[in-house]
Amino acid sequence: MKIFTLNVKVLIRLIVIVVGALPFIGCSEAIENDKKQEFKIDQYAILDVENGDLTNFSIKEGLHDNLVVSLGIQTDTVYILAHLDDKLAYQGQAAYLELKSPTLRSIEVFHKNEEGEHTSLGLDGTAYSVDIHGISDHLNPVFHLSQLKEGEFILKIYSKEPIAFETSVYPERVFQRINTRRLLLANIYIGIMLALFLYNLVLYFSIKDKVYLVYCLYTLFISLAQLSLSGYSMIILFGDNYQLFEQSAVIFSGISGIFAVTFVRTFLKTKKITPALDKALLGIGVLYVLVLVSSLCSLVELSYRLTDLAGMLVAIVFFMTGVMAARKGYRPAVYFLIAWSFFLIGVVMFVLRNLGIELFQDLANFPMLIGTALEAILLSLALANRINILKKEKEQQQQGKLEALKENERLIREQNALLEDKVKMRTEELEMTLKNLQNTQTQLVNQEKMASLGQLTAGIAHEINNPINFVSSNISPLKRDLQDVLEIMQTYREKGKVEFCEATQSEIKELEEDLEFDYLIEEIDMLLKGMEDGAKRTVEIVKGLRLFSRVDEQDVKKVDLHDGINSTLVLLNSTMGRVEVVKNYKEIPMVECLAGKINQVFMNIISNAIQALTEQGSANSNPQITINTSVDKDRVRMEIADNGPGMPEHVKERIFEPFFTTKAVGKGTGLGLSIVYKIIENHQGTLEVVSQEGKGTTFVITLPIYQKNTKE
């Protein structure tokens, strides 16, 4: 997947533009004039009012020369006296009085008129979401003064959150411009943080590195926390739900703190680089969890104290972690320190503002927004640099793997060379051993098979020979006897016509007709002829069996090969079906051989041809086996051909290998042709196969007429 990379130069330019624009935003002539017209009240007193009667109060504590009133958490309504002196240059004009604290739930301002009565200027605060001053989207409580005069103001304040504020008075138009600038800065802040959030979210889905997701969540919740602290979230998120708004600052701060700790631990690899501080970071994370629990349990004072404690520890531990990681040479820690420094600068600006020192005038109202925005931008820069680091680490890792693979490849080649030599030697030995074993096994199988076949055929031939000889020898006498009987019967028939009376002749004639005497004579002739043919056929079969009973003979004898072929065909006649056998015999001499072995060759080759033809079925309309014999000098040549399906080249190449077969399991051992080849080889002959797929197969056998040295 393509990795999105952030242009570092663009980020640097963005930071330069933002930082460089701050002085111009805060110190422009118009803003400077507006700031000069802002009057900050610094004379306060805490009042003790009985039963809410403003005519009957006493000063409980005076607060002189204090721009910021900080009372902490108060359970009851607080009354504060604010004195506006006569230094204002715009007395008598319409103006606004603003209390800079967006979390006050309820505040009512009373102005003492010339008659000494305290007149209410109205109510404001988070509990009053409906604008009653003609100013839209104001962040802090404001009160309209139709005619500004010096005098006293009594502030009636109630809040569940810590009370801390400063009071300013502006001319009407000045306040409107200042409020507009505040909203503009808040919107710019939201735009920057949202852009960083979406950008790093895209990076997370592209790179699948969880640090980007953690950073996105940290950016989201730190933005929400700062917007709640500035009061902007009341406008865009919570509306009239002031109770949720009052808790949001602490809740968002707690969640952002948890993700900040997680981000630092992941980004700076503290578990590996700074293990001691990693445990401290875990402790801070637990502290932020307690902040959330206490806030949800409405323990407001405890939640704020825990938040302040966690914030102080975060500032210290984060900075220490960044310094230690940077000193150990971890480059991303430098970016982190710079980003964290901007955040701390925002904290310092916030503190200085509370002390009355404003570095950038109106921007001092949003120091934390500026600090977190710059921090987020710089952390994005660090994460962008992290992509380069990850890329470099990946390249180094791949280079290391490549070198390791090359080394492994070299070792493998060397080992392969050694193994190939050893395997070659062992293979040659195994091939020799295997060949010997195959030859031995083939001979054993051949001997056992032929011995069993010889015993079987010899036994069958012996058992059949005697009874069939008896039948054959008795057929001729039986014919003569029947002929004599028929002559006597014919004489009786002729003499009976003269000697017998008509009644007797009639009775004899009826009996002849009932028995179909003439047909009986014909039937007897046919039965005798069938018996004679069957006996001759049986004699031929017995003769063939007697020839095959010599398969275990060890002595070479002169044999008529035509007799061997004919006896084989007789034995296979029942399996031929509609296969036609064409015999083209030429005159050949007697051949010295082992008759039983050669008959086995004929049996195997012809039976294979029959099987090939019968398996074709109706695909071959004229199945045929052709047998040719001839003499070639001192050798006899025999060709056994069929017009069957033939063999493909890869089968033909292996046809004489032991145990090779194309038949189904259980229908062949794969030894038949191997044994045949061995028999012909032992007879100093040759056996060749000529076959083409779809055009039949021909086996060509040549045998010497005389054997010089026959080997089994």
Question: Please, which residues have CB within 8 angstroms of residue 694's CB and are 6 or more apart in sequence?
Answer: 645, 646
Q: Which residues pair with 156 in a beta bridge?
A: 79, 108
pLDDT attached to residue 26: 46
Give per-residue pLDDT as tens, 131-156: 544 444 678 888 888 777 777 888 99
Mean pLDDT of 608-617: 82
pLDDT attached to residue 667: 58
DSSP element (H, E) containing 641: strand 635-642
Angle between helices 595-616 and 561-571 (to 10 degrees): 40
pLDDT attached to residue 440: 64
Domains of the chain with bracketed CATH: 37-180 (2.60.40), 555-712 (3.30.565.10)
Strands 624-632 and 580-584: parallel
Q: What's the longest Cα–Cα distance across the chain?
A: 191
Residue 356 has pLDDT above 60, yes or no: no
Question: Please, which residues have CB within 8 angstroms of residue 136's CB and are 6 or more apart in sequence?
Answer: none
pTM above 0.85, yes or no: no
Residue 344 has pLDDT above 50, yes or no: yes
Residue 271 has pLDDT above 60, yes or no: yes
Pairwise pLDDT comparison (614 vs 360), residue with the higher score? 614
Which amino acid is residue 102, in one-letter code? Answer: P
pLDDT attached to residue 7: 43
pLDDT attached to residue 5: 41
HEC per residue, 155-213: EEEECCCCEEECEEEEEHHHHHHHHHHHHHHHHHHHHHHHHHHHHHHHHHHHHCCHHHH
State how far the Cα of 489 lies from the Cα of 494, in Å rounded to an integer: 9
Give per-residue pLDDT as tens, 85-121: 766 656 667 888 888 888 888 899 988 877 777 888 8
State how far the Cα of 175 lies from the Cα of 35, in Å rounded to an integer: 10
Q: Which residue, 97, 76, 244, 55, is CA-closest to 157?
A: 76
User: Which range is least confidently modeled, 27-41, 453-467, 471-485, 685-699?
Assistant: 453-467
Residue 629 has pLDDT above 90, yes or no: yes
pLDDT attached to residue 365: 46
How would residue 526 be classed by pLDDT, with cut points 50, 70 and 90?
A: confident
pLDDT attached to residue 34: 73
Angle between helices 210-230 and 367-499 (to 10 degrees): 140
State how far the Cα of 207 lies from the Cα of 1, in Å rounded to an integer: 8
Reduced to 3 states, what is the DSSP secondary structure of residue 79?
A: strand
Contact 32, 408 (CB under 8 A): no
pLDDT attached to residue 290: 93
CA dihedral for 186, 188, 191, 192, sign (positive or negative): negative
State how far the Cα of 677 lies from the Cα of 701, in Å rounded to an integer: 10
Reduced to 3 states, what is the DSSP secondary structure of residue 464?
A: helix
Taking CA atoms, 38 is separated from 87, 92, 309, 363, 490, in Å, by 12, 15, 34, 14, 167
User: Which range is least confidently modeled, 155-159, 396-400, 562-566, 578-582?
Assistant: 396-400
Contact 131, 82 (CB under 8 A): no
Buried b (16+ CB within 10 A) or exposed e, 672-703: bbbbbbbbbebbbbebebebeeeebbbbebbb
